[in-house]
A and B are shown apart, each in its own frame.
Chain A
Amino acid sequence: MKLITAIIKPFKLEEVKDALSGIGIEGMTVTEVKGFGRQKGHTEIYRGSEYTVDFLPKVKLEVAVADAIVAKAIDTIVAAAKTGKIGDGKIFVSPLEEVIRIRTDERGDTAI
């Protein structure tokens, strides 16, 4: 099992969610976050005052998946979230030791 954490552009969330649903992924967690990578921030000017905004709004998507579909899930996210411009985000994949469904106490793949 893997935990896929994707940082994407906020306006791409709906497309990514629909694409993941399309390949049978049934759950995900979404958080509104701020951050920067190579895109860096931007400058805002209010009358004479100039402010550099380093952290840009992004969406963090977390999906737990069985090993069998990790590659497919990653491809799906990349395809749906890509605009080709700087600031499209990143995907982090990490091993997942255990998943437990609280209601039934199921463990492992069946709990995803």
Chain B
Amino acid sequence: MLSKLLSLRSVLLALGVAATSWCAFGADAPATPSSEERIAALEAYVNNTDPGKALTGVAGPGHNAWMMTSAALVLFMTLPGLALFYGGLVRSKNVLSVLAQCLGIAGLVTILWWAFGYSFVFGKSFSEGGSILGQFLGGTEFLFMKGVGSAPNTDYAYWISHNVFSMYQMMFAIITPALIVGAIAERMKYSAILVFVAIWMVVVYFPLAHMVWGVTGSMNGVWNGDASIRAIDFAGGTVVHMSSGWSALVLCLILGPRIGFLKEKMAPHSMVLCMVGTGILWVGWYGFNAGSALAADGIAANAFTTTTIAAAVAAFVWPMLEWITRGHPSILGFCSGAVGGLVVITPAAGFTDVSGAVIIGLLAGSVPYFACTKLKGWLKYDDALDTFGVHAVGGTMGALVTGFLATTDANANLTGSYATKNGLAALVTDGGLWLEQLKAMGITIAMSVIATIVIAYAIKATIGLRAAPDVERQGLDLSEHGEEGYIY
């Protein structure tokens, strides 16, 4: 009993000392915030606005929790969502090559992101002194993620940690080049893929992501008051889907078709894996779209809703069209429709409302369907897993229709102070946004196509793009990775 009392006393003493030292520290610090300031800061947390000095440098737990969850969800889209979606669609002798490509890209892009990618996209030092370079690339202040800590970077979000923001955006940088893998599956050399992705990230993704999402970016209509192109892209219609989709088309044309294309059977080896991957992609996409609000707020809630509706409508429309035109609603049809819906809603998710999402779902279930089933047959390019048909066609359509379906009812930032300054607000309320969207789309396609042509021919002339014919025939798994996907 005595010992218990003694220990209680020592705890109380320790607390007393701690309290005293805290007070002493407080006396040196700036004046303690008033009650009003502290309440205002808490209200700012709920409203996802600037907390003022009372809570400067502190991440909000709810927003931060959602963004860490979202970051993990977006990574889950690649590993294993996209890996399984694509992996199921190739022949069994190449299943591991697809997994290796997704895994390799995840590692490679992470290293680039840490070293300079994040800084090039979300820094702003290149704009100092009004330099024009800053419109196209971020800056050098975050090289090697220097100074990217747990305190928020208020250029982008008041309440989420800077490092969480960086990791979240990195997951987008990982999935984008991984999407290209679908077009060049079953024949491109592993070393050539890694070299291609490394260069492509630097010349296409990093500049494009900065232009669209960086606060000093030239096409960031919502957050850059000086944007020259007042375009909007909520979660990556241009940055992610158009860039990867158009690059995929060009790369698969330069690479050439698989040996035996249109002669041999190249049916998917496992529609089960494909469906599992699709489900993971759909779930992960909530992090991708709703997470792009960069807060657990009303815009995120709206994006969550529009994403669900567009995906579900498209996932229904595609196989119904198959049923009517071909007699069977196929599993691949359901899966393709779901991914198509998710792609097309991506740029609009946080800007449009539920009826916009239904329209997008109808378009997403039908237009990419014709691109994959008819266009590809007419033009005879070997986009093995339809990266172009789904991501480029869907992404391009999504970017355009976002120009018509964006509404301030869904997102008040469309008429915020930056948008008012650069004129976006007027375009949203009076119409004409679609023209700005067209400009952004044109720049995205031009950058993707030109850069891919140059990189692909450079690699072709040096280390070569394709696996040797023997390797391709035997399958990339055994010859390039020394493993088999299935050992019975």
Residues of A whose CB lies within 8 Å of any CB of B are: 44-49, 51, 53
Contacts and interface: CB of A to CB of B under 8 A. Distances in A.
B38 interface: no
A49 B267 contact: yes
A5 B242 CA distance: 58
B132 interface: no
B273 to A, nearest CB: 14
27 contacts: A44-B267, A45-B326, A45-B328, A45-B330, A46-B89, A46-B267, A46-B268, A46-B330, A46-B332, A47-B332, A47-B333, A47-B336, A47-B372, A47-B373, A47-B376, A47-B389, A48-B372, A48-B373, A48-B374, A48-B376, A48-B377, A49-B266, A49-B267, A51-B265, A51-B266, A51-B267, A53-B265
A44 B374 CA distance: 16
Given A45-B328, A46-B332, 17 more contacts: A44-B267, A45-B326, A45-B330, A46-B267, A46-B268, A47-B333, A47-B376, A47-B389, A48-B372, A48-B373, A48-B374, A48-B376, A49-B266, A49-B267, A51-B265, A51-B266, A53-B265
Contacts of B330: 45-46
Interface residues of B, number: 18
Contacts of B373: 47-48
Contacts of A48: 372-374, 376-377
Nearest to B374: A48
Nearest to A44: B267
Contacts of B389: 47
Nearest to A53: B265
A53 to B, nearest CB: 8
B436 interface: no
A49 B263 CA distance: 11
Select the residue from A44, A46, A47 with max chain B CB neighbours within 10 A.
A47
Nearest to A47: B372
A31 to B, nearest CB: 15
Nearest to B390: A47
Contacts of A51: 265-267
Contacts of B89: 46
A51 B333 CA distance: 16
A49 B380 CA distance: 11
Nearest to B328: A45
> Can you list the 8 inter-chain pairs with the closest CB atoms, starting with the nearest?
A48-B373, A47-B372, A51-B265, A48-B377, A48-B376, A51-B267, A46-B332, A46-B267
Interface string B445-482: 00000000000000000000000000000000000000
B386 interface: yes
Contact of B386 (A45, A47, A53): A47
Nearest to B378: A48
A47 to B, nearest CB: 5
Contacts of A49: 266-267
Contacts of A46: 89, 267-268, 330, 332
Interface centre among B89, B267, B330, B389 (most CB of A within 10 A): B267
A17 to B, nearest CB: 23
Contacts of A47: 332-333, 336, 372-373, 376, 386, 389
B371 to A, nearest CB: 9
Nearest to B261: A49
Interface string B345-386: 000000000000000000000000000111011000000001
Interface string B265-292: 1111000000000000000000000000
B393 to A, nearest CB: 13
B185 to A, nearest CB: 13
Contacts of B265: 51, 53
A46 B333 CA distance: 8
